[in-house]
Structure 1
Amino acid sequence: MFDKIRPYIDLVSHNQNYRRLWLSQIVSNFGDWFGILAVYALITRYSDSEFLLGLIIIVKMMSLASFSPFAGYITDRFNRRRIMIACDLLRAVIVACLLLVVSYETLWLAYVLTALQMMLSAIFEPAKTSSIPNVTTKEELVDANVLSAASWSIIFTIGMGLGGLATAWLGTDLVFIIDSGTYVLSSWFIYRAVIPQDEMSDAERKRTRNPLIGIKEGFRYLKDNHQVLRPTLAKGCFTMFLGALTYMLILVSEEVLMMGSIGIGSLYSARGVGTGIGPVIGRRIFSDEQDWVRAMGYCMIFGGLMYMVVGLTTSLIVMLLFVFIAHAASGANWVMSTVLLQRRTPDTFRGRVFSTEWLLFTLAQSVSVMVSSWILENDWLTIQQTMIVFALLLSITGIIWHTTITQEEQAFQKERRENLTAAHVAE
């Protein structure tokens, strides 16, 4: 057992800069998940509308999506370390301002502040993900991403579990204060880290001084490099239906299990544990990176099937088990696509590629939650029926992935092997 976790221990022990970036992630992620249930509780306290609850998720995702193209341009053009520090400090102020939401009349402020927080996250996340290859060796890169995903899931589990309890027992105000403090601590860890970065050439910097030109070049790069485009699509295709399913877990806890914040915390904790264990399992099953694009399709099919079971049961224990399994598939999909993008994308385009991935991811999740919340608001289907429909569509997406994206990737890998063989023969 110790031998299996030894590479991760060595990575954190010996790589000081990755360790500080990783600690920053842990602290800020804890605050994110610790505070998110407090935002949900704030909305349900002053409104009983399912649509308004879904709307806060839509606002989060659309804010990420709308600002992502500019965020990618910013993270490629400017110093990522300084950008992340500024984003953390500004988010600390914004989260603290949620204390001003005290009635239905001021509820709009929660949406505005959440939008601003997510716009800063749209800059921070691609900057962080783009920085990981710059503070690790090629051999450490997969371990670093698996550890980041596992840490995210552990913190997600702890944060959501404690957040549900804290929201119910301590109140939303104290939760928001703690959340604000985590961003300040996160910025301190980043401040102490050294994060190298390949800078744009003077000619490229001059050519892309207009943000629209820089953004356009990023999209053109993806269009011309399908080996990068394919993993860029993976998260968006997965969350096209998984976004609605995770949103509906909130309603399942409230209306099917009748457990409120405690139930939400439990279900989201199962989601978090699965997300962390999934990359470890996926790496053992699909040890060859050439199989990872194909594996992403399997993950979509499997995740959909697991959520169909969740929609068919009223047992908390069964739900916890199958939510865990479904998100293990999601976590494996996440890490495999991230590592492929980090390996296949040059540093000066990496921010724009990851921001485009975030754009697709957040747009897909926004539409997914919007459609499902509208279905439920109009009572066209029950929560469990809606969950089964979206789970089925997720599995169908995985099948389509296999007939299109996987075939293109296999052709690319075949051509790549032939070129390597020809080069070897020429030598």
Structure 2
Amino acid sequence: MGHQTAIAIFKAQKGYSRLFTAGLINGIGDRFTSVAVLALVLQLTGSGMAVGISLGVRLLPYLFLAPLGGVLGSKFPRKYIMIATDVLRVPVALTFLWVDGEDKLWLLYMASFLLAAGEAIYSPVRKSSIPLLVTKNSLLTVNGLEQLMSGCVLILGALSGGIVSMWFGPKAAFVMNAISFLVAARLIYGIDLPQNTNRVNEDKRKIDSPEKIKTKVDRQQKTNKMHALWIIISGSITLQVIFGYELLVPMLNGLDNVLISVYAVQEFQAGDIGVGAFYAALGIGLSLSFFAGRYVTKGLLIVAIVGLMIEGLLLMSISISNHFVIAFLLYILLSFAGGTGNACLDTLVMRETPSTMQPVIFGLLSAVGNTLLGLSMLLAGWLLEWVDPRTLGFAEGAGFSGIAILLAGYTFVRSKKKETQRA
């Protein structure tokens, strides 16, 4: 998956190039608001609790609305769902302009909740639209591009959002976010997105034949979509491992989201600049993970599990590092391993599930992942009152490695059992 391949995809798949650009603009606009909201809350209250609430309300909608987005995406044209969520978020983004005192914080919390609600619906619909726009042979490359986009958003969005908020004030950032939604909606409007189909991807799988699964799915979709989803998952070891990954990893991942700031400020005494540098390192790693795909042609599930093991080892290394520069480089490697694994997992989900079921699956994964991530962040805040940050970070890394071993063991045992049954 090289640079020329990416350019070729953008040229050949005009629909995806517009979807990618819309996602980039949307993401940067969202970062503008995230930075500006934090600055505004601190300016008005100086309260860490207020900051925590403003972050927490952005995770709540995912529990219920991400699955709803998946259901909507399987029943209605995905293109118009994305346009609607973008347009409806324009007035919400402008609502922040009226927050001028502590007595208006409720308005800030409400607007943050509604923006996150829109993203919770938008995200699984957008992700499930990708296989409708590109060939199945391009899926891994495209999912690598998605990680590259996330890295660019993390670097450019946070950096430019901070500059805009500092030079022109938070209000300018809110207006630019509203504009970004309109631009993204216009880009998506120009996409010729195929309608939902009932086809089953014809990739090679270690499960029932495509014809057999399609018959089961078609029959069950008429009566119970969740039952149809269960049939697909129960017949695919790969999907079982992915769901196990999404249940276990976010329970620990929230710890690092909190620890990254604690390390920068308390352990390395690098202040806000250190926090920004560490987040930039994550963005650099995600961007570089795009180029890893040229060396990944098969064994995607193994690559993802090995990547998780490497993440665990790197987290343990960061927890015992005494030099800021070394920690910075380790965060780049950490994000590189995570981004490569995420691209592999997303590709596997797209290959293993029928097109009409993909919004539901991505909605469930988003709901589970973000909810557990939020709970993990709350747990991290509580644990840091009692546990040394480096000790907590080492335990998180050990947990990541343990999960990788557990998932690898499950994959091996289930695969052997399948082979025995076939024999």
Structure 1 and Structure 2 fold alike (TM over 0.5): yes
Q: Distance in 2 between matches of 1:259 and 1:35?
A: 24
Cα deviation, 1:88-137, whole Å, max 9, x if unaligned, reads: 11222222212233333332333322221122112111111111111111
Report the alpha carbon displacement of residue 214 of structure 1 after superposing the two structures with TM: 4.3
Rate the CA distance shift 1:327–1:117 in 2: closer, same or farther, 3 A: same
The TM-score, its normalising length taken from structure 2, stands at 0.86
Report the alpha carbon displacement of residue 7 of structure 1 after superposing the two structures with TM: 1.0
Report the alpha carbon displacement of residue 193 of structure 1 after superposing the two structures with TM: 0.7
Report the alpha carbon displacement of residue 152 of structure 1 after superposing the two structures with TM: 2.1
Report the alpha carbon displacement of residue 221 of structure 1 after superposing the two structures with TM: 4.3
Q: Distance in 1 between matches of 2:289 and 2:328?
A: 15
Q: Which residue of 2 aligns with 1:309?
A: 317
Verify the 8 A CA contact 1:17 1:194 in the aligned structure 2: yes
Rate the CA distance shift 1:205–1:137 in 2: closer, same or farther, 3 A: closer
**Residue of 263, 271, 291 corresponding to 1:280:** 291
Q: Which residue of 2 aligns with 1:396?
A: 402
**Residue of 2, 19, 22 corresponding to 2:20:** 22
Rate the CA distance shift 1:352–1:392 in 2: closer, same or farther, 3 A: same
Verify the 8 A CA contact 1:60 1:114 in the aligned structure 2: yes
Report the alpha carbon displacement of residue 353 of structure 1 after superposing the two structures with TM: 0.8
**Residue of 88, 101, 109 corresponding to 1:111:** 109
* SS of equivalent residue, structure 2 residue 102: coil
Q: Distance in 2 between matches of 1:103 and 1:260?
A: 27
Q: Are 1:68 and 2:66 counterparts? A: yes
Q: Distance in 1 between matches of 2:137 and 2:27?
A: 26
Report the alpha carbon displacement of residue 11 of structure 1 after superposing the two structures with TM: 0.8
Report the alpha carbon displacement of residue 271 of structure 1 after superposing the two structures with TM: 0.5
Verify the 8 A CA contact 1:163 1:265 in the aligned structure 2: no
**Unaligned regions of 5+ residues in structure 2, if any?**
200-216
Cα deviation, 1:377-396, whole Å, max 9, x if unaligned, reads: xx212434333332332222
**Residue of 129, 135, 138 corresponding to 1:137:** 135
Give the partner amino acid of 1:287: T
Q: Which residue of 2 aligns with 1:387?
A: 393
Q: Distance in 1 between matches of 2:270 and 2:94?
A: 28
Q: Distance in 1 between matches of 2:162 and 2:390?
A: 23
Q: Which moved more, 1:254-263 or 1:54-63?
A: 254-263
Rate the CA distance shift 1:221–1:285 in 2: closer, same or farther, 3 A: same
Alignment root-mean-square deviation, CA: 2.9
Q: How does 1:335-414 map to 2 (within 5 A)?
A: 335-376=343-384, 379-408=385-414
Q: Are 1:246 and 2:257 counterparts? A: yes
**Unaligned regions of 5+ residues in structure 1, if any?**
420-427
Q: Are 1:197 and 2:195 counterparts? A: yes
Q: Distance in 2 between matches of 1:98 and 1:257?
A: 34
* SS of equivalent residue, structure 1 residue 62: coil
Cα deviation, 1:325-346, whole Å, max 9, x if unaligned, reads: 1111110111111000111110
Rate the CA distance shift 1:130–1:301 in 2: closer, same or farther, 3 A: same
Cα deviation, 1:38-81, whole Å, max 9, x if unaligned, reads: 22223333445545434433332231122122221111011100
Rate the CA distance shift 1:183–1:9 in 2: closer, same or farther, 3 A: same
Cα deviation, 1:241-262, whole Å, max 9, x if unaligned, reads: 1222023323434444455543
**Residue of 49, 59, 65 corresponding to 2:57:** 59
Report the alpha carbon displacement of residue 220 of structure 1 after superposing the two structures with TM: 5.7
Verify the 8 A CA contact 2:241 2:407 in the aligned structure 1: no
Verify the 8 A CA contact 1:272 1:327 in the aligned structure 2: yes
Give the partner amino acid of 1:7: T
Report the alpha carbon displacement of residue 195 of structure 1 after superposing the two structures with TM: 0.6
Q: Which residue of 2 aligns with 1:180?
A: 178
Q: How does 1:89-128 map to 2 (within 5 A)?
A: 89-128=87-126
Aligned positions, number: 406
Q: Are 1:294 and 2:305 counterparts? A: no
Q: Distance in 2 between matches of 1:171 and 1:410?
A: 60
Q: Distance in 1 between matches of 2:258 and 2:91?
A: 27
The TM-score, its normalising length taken from structure 1, stands at 0.85
Report the alpha carbon displacement of residue 25 of structure 1 after superposing the two structures with TM: 1.0
